Structure formats: C-alpha cells, structure tokens
Structure 1
C-alpha cells in the first residue's frame, strides 16, 4: 500500500507546485535535466486542480511549500542551508519561510502533556496560557509551576506529527529514487543523501529529549560566557513530546525601539552576539545554528538569551583549526597561507596549482578589504571562498555550509543592531585567541597528552599489535630467515618498550 500512497502524495505535491507556478522555478534551481523536467511537468499538469493555491504574497516556491504542510516547510528550511543543492537564490528565498502554522487546540496540548508526564496539567501548573508560538513541529505555551511559582515555557509536539512526517519522508525517498531512475545525471545532486540528511534532522527534532540534551550541553559549554545566558531545562517535566524550561524574560533582539527604551547599548550587543557565535563555533565546536532575532532576547540585566535548540551545528576540532587558520589568513591578507591550509587539509586535490589557487583567493579577499567597514561581510567572504574552492575541485562539506549560513544570519542580526560595526575588527580578537590556544605551544602539549592517554590504554597490547602488523605486511621469506626473525624480535622489543614507557609516563602527563 505504501507505493500507491507515495504516488498519490507526489501527484498532489507536483500539482501544488504546478498550480502555484513554482514547478519551473524549482526545476531551474535544481538545474534539472530535460528528461526530469518533461516528466515532472507532464505528470503534474493534469492534476493541477488537486493542488493548493497557497499565499499569493509569497514567492512561488515558498507558497507551494507552505501550502503542502509541516514536513515540506521543514524540508524547505533545511534546503535553505544547502545552496550547493538548490542554488544561492533559491536558498535565500527559502530562508524567509516563517514556519507559522495555525496552533492546535489547548485541549490537545493538555492531553499530550498528561500522556507524557502522567499527571494532569492542573496538578503541575497553576497557570497555562494559550499558544504563544506555533511552528511546524511543536508549539510553545507560557505557564507557572504550581509548586514554586516559577514562570516556564512548555514546548509541546503537535499531535500525530511523527506519523505525518514519516508518511511524507517515505514519499521523499520514493521521489529521490524516481528522480535518479528517470535522470541518472541528477545523481550529482545526491538526492538520496539530501533526504537522509533531512530524515536525520527531523527524527531528532521529533524527540524533545534530544533538544533538551542539546540545550543542556550548550549551557554547560557557555556557563562562563559573560553577557550570555540560556533557559534552564526542567528535566522532571520534560520527555519525548514535552519540554519544559525557564521562561526567557526580556526584550526581543530585533526590536530596536524596545531595546533603546530599556537603555541597552546596541553597539555593544552587536559586537557581543558576533563574538559569542564565533566563540561557540571555534572554542566549543557546538553552536546554535538558528540564531535569528526570533530566537534571541535581551534580559533586563543586558545579557543575551538564546532559546529554541532544534537546530545545532557541530564541527570537529581539526575542522575548527582549519577554519580558524583560513579566517586568520584572510584577516592578515596572507593568501599563500590560506592556500596552504586548504592543501594541507586535503580540501583541494594535491594535483592542483597552489600558486594559482592563492591568486584566486586574493581575488576573493582584496575586493572585500577594499570596502568600507560597514560593508565588509565574513559570510559573503565564505560564500565567495566556496565558489573558488569548488572550481579547484573541493568537495562540498555540509558542516561548513551550515556554519557559513549561520554566519550570514548572525551578521544580519549584528548589523540590525549597529549598521556601522566592523565585522573583521570584532572577529579578530576571537580568532587570534583561538589560534594561540589551538595551534601554539600549549596546543602541542595538549595534543601530546591526549595521545599519551590513548597510548596508555593500548600500552600492554602494543607488542602484540606491532607483531601482528608486521606479520600481516611481511613479504615472502628472505634468503636469510634468521635476519627476519631478528628483525621481528627487535621491533617487538621496541613496541614493548614504548608500551611500558607510555604506561608509566601517561599518569604524570595527565
């Protein structure tokens, strides 16, 4: 039954895209080959009467996605972070998805909470408001704890949302397979990989325990960050369908008039929001990947508050070092070093010309440094950089695209607070400090300690591991077997000595 259902779902999808005028726009954005274009238009056109019209004030693609419902809205949001798939123009359009849907009833919210927490809402909360925000996956209510009187935010999943998303994801998988069958050339867009990424993100958001965990980790990382705070998770009142946290009281970061009336220093807030993001990305490798004004407030004491942790970004330590060196190289206008970093990291194939690549990077950086400080954009720099590296054979790196997309959003927030801020001047101390901590002598010692810890765990096994490796890689017996036996004995002894040495010294290094 799943096959016919998926076919009907795709017919409705195509009809909606055709009726809203989005079909051609989307096919152009995907650079779809002729066979796929013909199949899509021919199959969808007769069923246009099945398609929804959507909001005529929105761009066609956004109108179609909103009309199709929550799964498509979330898919559009995720595609807005993948300009490598849909192109820069379409990615920009998809970012304006408001993700505003009609709220579900307060009775349904009460039922979800009762089922998840095992107790009626009235026994836990003395007050429980109507929805204050409704999105594609969940909605938020303001409440007051009966026991302590504390104000909290209660996030509740939409009833039946897991089944609805599962149904649409099945249709997406079916569509990806169909696209690859009808047009082998489309495989370069990796449609199945895109759906797999979408499924992973959505399945994580459908379990609010995972969002609560992300919020808790983020709070642990940032507890000592001056001028920054996060809502505290109430684990006793949270579960798979419900998440409770302290209420974030303050002025929206996007309301300049309210910020001015409250006496907040907007230029200082502008610098802080950018430096906080860079610190989280470089220092921790774990950052809020949806830092728009709607997810940020300013507390009465002037602290920036972040909330909604459904989309978080992660980059490993090695990638952070590479990213920092690239930024630092551009700050110093050392394009040769930036080129070397790309080659050392394996981002650009070794058979490409390093000097030619450095000249291409200069063409990216110099026009930006020639701009007035108010027009300099790190996000644009990274976008131009990806264009150049793609021409030199660099493969798409999803984690860097998400970082670049978030950088653009954070820059927009910072500029809205202070249009005259200098992005490079604000970023430089954060990047320089990270370079000193991660690439200098202290970092080398730290790396040695980490290596020693790992070696210490394997110390007793090193002789056997070395011998097994030598046996596996040994060539046919030489003319003098005794020499081979002596060689193996020597290396086994060396391995044993290393194991003993590391085992003895590692505790002192720790």
Structure 2
C-alpha cells in the first residue's frame, strides 16, 4: 500500500513536469489507441500545462526527461532506439538528449576514489584535475596522471570515471516506479502487452545495473580491445585494473579530433574519406565478424587520432548479435537487393520474428513497399538504416516482435550515416566496406558455407543424440514405473521409433558427407 501511494505521488510529479514542458504529445496517440484514459495526465495538463512554441514533440520530451533527473535521462537514451514505438523524429530528438548535469565536487570524487580503492589519492595519482572534463547522468570524468611505475617513470595520462554519490539509490527508486507502471499496463491493457512493458523496464534496469558497476564497463572495453588487437585503425583505451573498482574506472586517456569535425581533420592533414572507410570497416567487423558492437557510437564518444585511427570511449551500452541474427541480416539485405520479397518474408518466419499465422504474401507486399523505392537509386541516396527502421515500423501491423539488439544496431547505423553524410554527402558509408562485406558473405553465406553449416548442424545433432535418447529412456521408465501405466506395445513402438530416428539420422549425415566431400 505504501509503495502504491509513493508511486502515485511520484507519478503525479512526473505528469506535472511532462505537462509543463508540453511533452505529452508523443504518448497521447498510443494511450488513445490502447483505450487508456489518461486521467492523471489530463489533470496535469489542466493544472500545469502550457503550450511550448517552436519545439518539436521529441524536443519537449527530451527537456522533460532532463528535468526529471538521471534515471529519466538514461531512459530517454534507451527510448531513442525505439523508433518503432515513438516514431523516427521523436527517437532522433531523444538521441540528442543532453546527458549533462551539474558536476559534483572534486572532494566528493576524491573521497569516493579513496574509499573504493582503499588508498590515498596521492599514492594513486601524481596529479588529479579538480574540474571534471564531463559530467553525465551517472558519472563524471576527471583527467589525472598516475604515480610513477617501473614502465612509466613519469606516470601515465589517464581518465578517471567516478560514479555519482547516491545515484544507485535514486535509480532504484525510479526503476521500481517504472516497473509498477508497467505491471499495471500489462494487467489492464491487453493491446499494449505486445510491447512487453515489463520486459522493457527489466531490460532497462539490467542495462543500468551494468552501467552502475564500472568493473563491468571496464570488462566490456577489455573485450572490445581484444577483438581489435593488432588493428591500427581502431583504438580502444586500455583499462588500468589496479585503479578500477565497482564505482571507479581508470582508463588510458584519449585525445583527438571529434568524429564530426571535418575541417579540423583536414587541417591536421587527414583524408576524410579514408577516415570514413576505416569507420565503415570497423562497424562491419564489430557487428558481423565479432557480433559485439559499441552501442552508443555518437560523435561525443568517438574521435579521430592525429594518426587517423578511430578512437572510442564510454562502454556502458554494448550490443551483441548471435551468428543466427547476423546471417538473418545478411540474407535479408541480399533478398532486398535481389527483389526476392517472398524469400525475405519466409526468412522472417524461419527466424521466428514473424508469427506463422501471418500471410506470407501480404508481408511480402509490405516488404516490396520498402524495397522498390531504393531500386535503381544511387547508393549515396540510400539509407540502409532507414530501410531497417521502415521494416520495424510495419511490425505492429503483422504482430511482429522487434528484437532489441536490432533496434540498437539500427540506431548506430543511423548515427554512422548521419556523420558520414555530414562529412561527405556524396558517399554511402556502407559501400566503403564493400570488400569486407563481399568476403564475409562468401565465407559465411556462399554455397560452400551453407553446405558446411548443414553438415556441422547434423554432427551437432549426432553428438547430442545419445543424451536425448537417454533422457527419453529415463522418461519412459519413470512413466512405466509410476502411477501412469503404459501399454507394453506402446513402449515397444516408442523404442522402435527412437531407434529408427537414430538410424535415419546417421544415414542422412553419411549421405551428406558422400555428396559434398
């Protein structure tokens, strides 16, 4: 009861802030379509609402979320990946959400560092800048130089990320509120269950928990660093593990030119098109070669070293793509380029993204409406990220579940395309990675690769076969010995069918091996 009263009070305060910024518009249509009566929001508008001239709905929403504090700023960043829910323009406005808050004192930062690392600042850093270089929703960053070490007699220049005091408690309270709202929506609004509000909040909470433990962010940076070991075109900062803890992360300091500053790159003697080629190759290698990509690659997190290498910081949001998902994306793109919309529609069913109850022909028609406008157009005029977004937009019509990792991928593709066109509007960034794409497609989706994958799948089934049969035998014995008695003839049929299944599987694999050796 106390939780509900506290949540209602906080909800009223949120509605008041939304109304005062005129930020209710993005939600009104969804609420109306769901048959939801937004009584609280209505009274908030009557009491506190005002018109905000000259601002788009997404800009008003971003302003409201900024005022509500760190948890809602972070929520806005997550929502910026959900163009399928809010529309492309609102999602784009949220992507620009200023993740800036007043800095907390250097005394508080140093006190937290000493408490976390169990040592005085002077023994850790020979110098520590009192003024932070950035103050974000969850943490702030200070530049420092480490104390001398055997391989760095003058110390190392580092960036020290410090979690905000009290931020964990503040986030937990707001997440409890969001979960309470999501549970009410799922119980009372069947039309909104497809959007899985409880799952969305839990995913958000899991993301935040990772960002609250800077050891996990450091581990993400370490994994990305290892994936590009020996690649001079991409620089991921090394982690200083001796000066890293749950609420403190120390990493190699990066200096360079902002990723979207073309004039500064040219002034430094860098070839902008060469930089874009490196960026395209890096993005492709992350998403398709490794299946692990930086999930927040906006210009504020990316820079270009004076040697032309792409540099990246902030590893709180990372994305993973299973091999099956990577194959799905590759086959879908091929299907669109070959105008085989029926095949693309069938792929969605095979991947489990489209319910089998939906009409393949109707879905193929919707796919045609996306694919035909790009046919014959110059590549620099085609946005593959926007095409992916259009696919997500038709998800509701066909009761299709959009995969969160694909939304995160699309967000980063849009960011990459935006920066690319700002630097050189005549280029399509994805054509720059064409040699890598073609090589990967041949190795992973060509005829030989498909045959090898089929044989691998057969062998995998064979390897697991004895265990499966053993479990079946146990189940049959358990049922036969228990209260449920099986007819002896039925048991003989089950065993016979199991033996036949095993035999036919062996025959199929041997046949495949003879045909494709």
Q: Is TM > 0.5 for Structure 1 vs Structure 2? A: yes
Query: Deviations 1:269-289 (Å, cap 9, x if unpaired)?
Result: 112212311221111111111
Distance 2:91 2:98 in 1: 14
Equivalent runs, 1:407-418 vs 2, <5 Å: 407-418=413-424
Distance 1:331 1:492 in 2: 40
Q: Which runs of 5+ in 1 are unaligned?
A: 503-510
Change (3 A) 1:225 1:157: same
Residue 41 of structure 1: aligned partner: 42
Query: Deviations 1:362-381 (Å, cap 9, x if unpaired)?
Result: 33122123433332111111
Change (3 A) 1:102 1:29: farther
Residues 1:394 and 2:400 are matched in the alignment: yes
Query: Deviations 1:364-420 (Å, cap 9, x if unpaired)?
Result: 122123433332111111112223454334222222111111111111122222211
- CA drift of 1:299 comes to 1.3
User: What's the secondary structure of 2:293's corresponding residue?
Assistant: strand
Tell me the TM-score normalized by structure 2.
0.85
User: What's the secondary structure of 1:411's corresponding residue?
Assistant: helix
1:285 pairs, out of 291, 307, 315, with 291
Residue 299 of structure 1: aligned partner: 305
- CA drift of 1:93 comes to 2.0
375-384 or 355-364, larger mean C-alpha shift: 355-364
Residue 508 of structure 1: aligned partner: none
Tell me the TM-score normalized by structure 1.
0.86
Equivalent runs, 1:58-97 vs 2, <5 Å: 59-97=59-97
Distance 2:104 2:455 in 1: 55
Equivalent runs, 1:197-212 vs 2, <5 Å: 197-212=203-218
Distance 2:393 2:428 in 1: 24
User: How many residue pairs were aligned?
Assistant: 493
Change (3 A) 1:316 1:9: same
Change (3 A) 1:426 1:38: same
Change (3 A) 1:262 1:397: same
Residue 357 of structure 1: aligned partner: 363
- CA drift of 1:160 comes to 0.7
Distance 2:490 2:68 in 1: 76
User: What's the secondary structure of 1:391's corresponding residue?
Assistant: coil
Query: Deviations 1:53-74 (Å, cap 9, x if unpaired)?
Result: 9x99993211111111111111
User: What's the secondary structure of 2:251's corresponding residue?
Assistant: strand
For the Cα contact (< 8 Å) 2:65–2:72, is it kept in 1?
A: yes
- CA drift of 1:167 comes to 1.3
Q: Which runs of 5+ in 2 are unaligned?
A: 511-517
Equivalent runs, 1:22-37 vs 2, <5 Å: 22-28=23-29, 31=32, 33=34, 35-37=36-38
Give the root-mean-square deviation of aligned CA atoms.
Answer: 3.4
Distance 1:93 1:255 in 2: 21
For the Cα contact (< 8 Å) 2:99–2:137, is it kept in 1?
A: yes
Residues 1:19 and 2:20 are matched in the alignment: yes
Residue 138 of structure 1: aligned partner: 139
